[in-house]
Structure 1
Amino acid sequence: MLGSDVMRGYNDMLILCLLLAGDSYGYAISREIEQRSGGEYPIKETTLYSAFRRLEKQGYIVPYQGSETQGRPRTYYTITDEGRKAYTAKCAEWRVLKTVVDRFAKEDMTDGSDS
């Protein structure tokens, strides 16, 4: 299972990715992240809502009140044009990061040289 420290820099990307498909709310987003990760990353509620606040502050998402569920209106989130641009930039950053880390991640750890 992945720890939150490993995923910290990419929570925003995961959320923005899901919002590209359509508006959604916290619980549904957290379940989708856990499902798509094959259960390897059950995002914590505090992590999720911290990310929502950060993304909103940056102008990447906009919250709005949706339909009531059990007497309480549900907060939905929609991605903005700036959020789409941020998602694209984060994906490009991920490709570079993955390339760099792959240069160090070895199956055979008998020595540190490339032979």
Structure 2
Amino acid sequence: MTQDDAFAADLLRGHTDTIVLGVLRRGDAYGFEIYKTIRDATGGDHEIKEATLYATYRRLEKDGLVESYWGDESQGGRRKYYRITDAGRAVFRGNVAAWTATRRIIDSLLDVKESQQ
């Protein structure tokens, strides 16, 4: 892992809650399905460790941002599904607004022009 990769991973790790909430805004999903969605969205360039994700699910549920329920699987084991709550949607919107503002400030401090992105 290069220094750039480590920096990107640290930056993304700080936004795990928002990333998970973003996935759940599209619909209910079970744990491994969320993992695959995140991995696939980056073309496999970034993965969030499953242990990190399961800790995130527990924290989001404890904070009332997601709810969980057991699916009724006809084949294989039962899966625990997660659903975003209204509070989770509000937190997601606030986090995205904060990220957008932060990105705008960092871009201006680095003198990055929109045409260069």
TM-score by length of 1: 0.82
Matching residue of 2:100 = 95
**How many residues of Structure 1 are paired with residues of Structure 2 in the alignment?**
105
1:67-86 alignment, distance < 5 Å: 67-68=72-73, 69-70=75-76, 72-86=77-91
Larger Rg: 1
Unaligned runs of 5+ in 1: 108-115
Which has a greater percent of strand? Answer: 1
C-alpha RMSD of the superposition:
1.6
Matching residue of 1:63 = 68
Of the three residues 59, 62, 84, the one matched with 1:54 is: 59
TM-score by length of 2: 0.81
Give the share of equivalent positions with the same residue, in percent.
Answer: 38
Cα distance change on mapping 1:34 and 1:106 into 2, 3 Å: farther
| Structure 1 residue matching 2:15: 3-state secondary structure | helix
| Structure 2 residue matching 1:64: 3-state secondary structure | strand
Which has a greater percent of helix? Answer: 2
- Distance, in Å, in 1 between the alignment partners of 2:110 and 2:44 is 23
**TM-aligned CA deviation for residue 106 of structure 1:** 6.1
Question: Which string of whole-angstrom CA distances, capped at 9 and with x for unpartnered residues, describes residues 33-68 of structure 1?
Answer: 011122221110011111101111110000100023
Unaligned runs of 5+ in 2: 113-117
Of the three residues 2, 23, 44, the one matched with 1:39 is: 44
Q: Which amino acid aligns with 2:36?
A: R
Of the three residues 23, 39, 43, the one matched with 2:28 is: 23
